[in-house]
Amino acid sequence: MPIVEHLHTYRRVGKSATFCCYHPICTHFTKKEFLIGKKAMCRCGNPFILDYRALQLKVPHCLECLKPYKENSRQAIEKRKALNIKVNEVLEEAFPATQNNEPVEQDSPVENNEPTNEPRKRIGYEI
């Protein structure tokens, strides 16, 4: 049989830990343990590195092809909520809120650097 140099496209054989390349001329078989960290061809045509997650599947594929949840499923909604909570926590740390919903006082620019008797102007509103 001729030697064909190509990136293997793997498929699991039954429910075993054996994978075979399903290229028409290739006869390559190997165990799952030997595939972790190896380069393979995805079903979308892009090369990717095989990892533990990919080797749990019948046909291993890259992360770009991975769509684990339907768009409006319960799992997808819960995942979005968890992500929104994390984003809000990060935003609160980066931009702390003022107490009593009052805007932060800002100095008004003075042209001649002399102190004035006028009170500072507040920007915003009070509730």
Each residue of 61-109: pLDDT tens digit?
887 777 666 667 777 778 778 888 888 888 888 777 655 555 555 555 5
CB contact at 8 A, 65 and 50:
no
Report the DSSP beta bridge partners of residue 10.
21
The percent of residues above 90 in pLDDT, for the chain, comes to 15
Q: List the one residue out of 126, 83, 88, 87 whose CA is nearest residue 104.
A: 126
The identity of residue 117, as a single letter, is N
> What pLDDT does residue 123 have?
61
DSSP string, 16-36: SSEEEE-STT---EEEGGGTT
Kindly state the tokens that stand for 84: 């929104």
